[in-house]
Structure 1
Amino acid sequence: MAVRHRTRGAAAGAAAALALTLTAALTGCGGDSPADTARKAESAVGSIASQASGAVESAAAEAERRLGDIQDGADAKDDVRAGPPVTGADGRVRSEVTVRNTDDSARSFAVQVDFRDAGGRLVDTVIVTVDQVQAGQSATATARSTHDLSGDVRTDVARAVRY
């Protein structure tokens, strides 16, 4: 039992440290453009999620919060779809993400994609960006897990922001 308790404590400590790392990576200089903020979120969330499985939920919460920080961003979850997950030879799971720009001018998207096991437990999260989708058009990007995932993996769009 003592080892198990220490392991949980170490995982919690790692999650907290990684969440702080994510916060530091995303705060950067004031005045970042929405695209810069989205790219920082994409990079930092992938890095944290791949470092410690215990940090996945912390990374997901921080990603959602940071996507909310995108200036002039609009909720676009209804305009985004994640395709069926496919596991590559490298063990990474990929899902094609399709965004539809319903606005009247070109817009970019930041999309948080969650990977869940058959029981619904969050096992990974990533952010993908899709730049400059023309008005009335659709575009795709690939969400790729940050580490090997096995078993029945499902993907869902946790959050999407159009900016």
Structure 2
Amino acid sequence: MSFAELTRARYSCRSYEDRAVEPEKLAAIVEAGRIAPSAHNNHPTRLIVCDTPEARAKAAKAAHNFAKDGSVFGAPVVLLACAKTNDAWVRRQDQMNSSLIDTTIVVDQMMMQAVDLGLQTCWVCMFDPAVAREEFGLADDVLPVSMLTLGYAADSIAEPDKREARCITREEFVL
């Protein structure tokens, strides 16, 4: 599958089969995140792999609006991407901390790797970071940034015309 095809095949999956993700696929997804680029190669992202009932329940507690079957959207795996903000590169001119950008790149690479392996994902930012911090016992310098649910889709992607209608036009996108 070409990268262009991969980007068109990806969608926000909100319903998953009751089927485990194979360990080798999960390992490949985690590796895609581990090798993602980061500003100044500081690699401030840390990952919590929620692939047990207990860990998925903790993630679901933080993302309670999307809790389903003891997980987030019923996914067999939830990845919680966190940033160690103190480890990130900081731009001198305006003190912009790269940790959120770096962590976003990690999640994006894992998401695309999952789709390439026949899985689907949903990028979740609507969760309570304070609950995630408490549930997972995170240190003060570890910021929960986003979750990535993954598994085998039990729903399907919208038709191309419906997907296109939800996208910004090229004229609006390019300044």
TM-score by length of 1: 0.33
- Higher relative contact order (CA closer than 8 Å, sequence separation 6+): 2
Structure 2-normalised TM-score? Answer: 0.31
| Structure (1/2) with the larger strand percentage | 1
